[in-house]
Amino acid sequence: MKKEILLSNIESVYRNLLNSNLPMVKLRDSTILITGASGFVGSMITNFFLNLNEKHSYNIDLILLVRDKQKLQEKLVYALSKYTTVIEQDIEELDISILSNVNIDYIFHLAAPTTSSYFIEYPIETANSIIEGTKNILNIAKKNTIKKFFNFSSIEVYGQFPNEGELLKENMLGNIDIYNLRSSYPLAKRIAEYYCFSYSQIFQIPAISIRLAQTIGIGVDENDTRVFCQFARSIIQSKDIVLNTDGSQALCYINILDVLESIFYILFSDIYTGCINLVHNQSEKENIKTIKELASYCVENLSDNKINLVFDIDYNKNKKYIKTSRNLDNKKLRDLGYIPKISIEESMMQLVKYMKNEK
């Protein structure tokens, strides 16, 4: 059932893109490298291209770089085909010679640690994986004629600002505490962006950093520990929603289906360097703007008040949470013609429905 949900939504994204008059046909017979293809966002992008091959005969050669092939296969909506090559290897130790001359057209670089507790427990490994992995993929791009290189970055590169809630444009960066172990992730992501920019200027590689807000929606792992998934599991299992903070942190999110659509507006744009925010900008009419408000909405509207909202604030647990509230500006994306449209309410309903279903 989950695969049917994925397929129907992926096909809807494709139809939307066709109706937008983007030149999707240019993707036919291309070669695409995706790193981190077994992750949440990476697997959804992979499934999108697999669907183009299986249902629409795009004949795209996919090269998928993962650490665990079995995990990848569990996430895919179609079986691996003659158009798919899987490389099972750690990205920071990748032998780039195997991909140096295969005529890659597009690169989607998503491989990176994603768990806050890992950033703290293994800060050196976190930084090395992101920085060395990005350098390896850029060096592969340097040996190919790349049309677009997408480096998937993070909202966390913005750091902390004294005026929380300020609308952050792409050229605004705040402070990151270098004496906090959890900073291994945002600092490494900043450095990765710098490498992408430098390679674009020195070697003319069209490398763009995609600054993703918290991404929500179908396709998530069952054991995903992010707050959206914790709330969904609480609803499904009829268990109280427990917040380890006061819930005042502002929501800064984007639905995975909006991510899938928006990246093709960037791919076919004349942007070839720099960075761009991918985020749903909330309007004044939207009522849910904080974690606490989202938790209350889930209790009242998605569980029919069968569960409660409980606060269990614990300093040790709080170490893994980001303390600041960030509000990213998506004007650069809107100027390309795309406005993320899926609200947090609809996103949570999608997520609960998806997680309820069996495989």
The order of strands in the sheet holding 84-88 is 84-88, 61-66, 31-35, 106-109, 148-154, 207-212, 275-278
Chain segment 113-138, per-residue pLDDT in tens? 999 999 999 999 999 999 999 999 99
Burial class (CB in 10 A: 0-12, 13-18, 19+), 283: exposed
Q: Please state the rounded mean pLDDT for residues 197-223.
A: 96
- Report which of 215, 327, 335, 199 is spatially closest to residue 266, judged by C-alpha positions: 335
Q: Does 243 fall in a domain? A: no
Total domains in the chain come to: 1
Q: Does 171 fall in a domain? A: yes
As a 3-state breakdown, the chain gives helix, strand, coil percent values, each rounded to 5, of 45, 15, 40
Q: Does 154 fall in a domain? A: yes
Q: How far apart are CA 95 and CA 97, in angstroms?
A: 5
Chain segment 40-55, per-residue pLDDT in tens? 999 999 999 999 999 9
Q: Does 293 fall in a domain? A: no
Q: Does 246 fall in a domain? A: no
The domain that contains 102 carries what CATH number?
Answer: 3.40.50.720
Residue 101's pLDDT is: 74
Q: Does 300 fall in a domain? A: no
Q: Which structural domain, as residue segments, surrounds residue 212?
A: 2-219+252-280+325-342
Q: Does 296 fall in a domain? A: no
Q: Does 310 fall in a domain? A: no
Residue 325's pLDDT is: 67
For tokens 């995609």, the residue is: 210
Chain segment 250-309, per-residue pLDDT in tens? 889 999 999 999 999 999 999 999 999 999 987 656 778 899 999 999 999 999 888 999
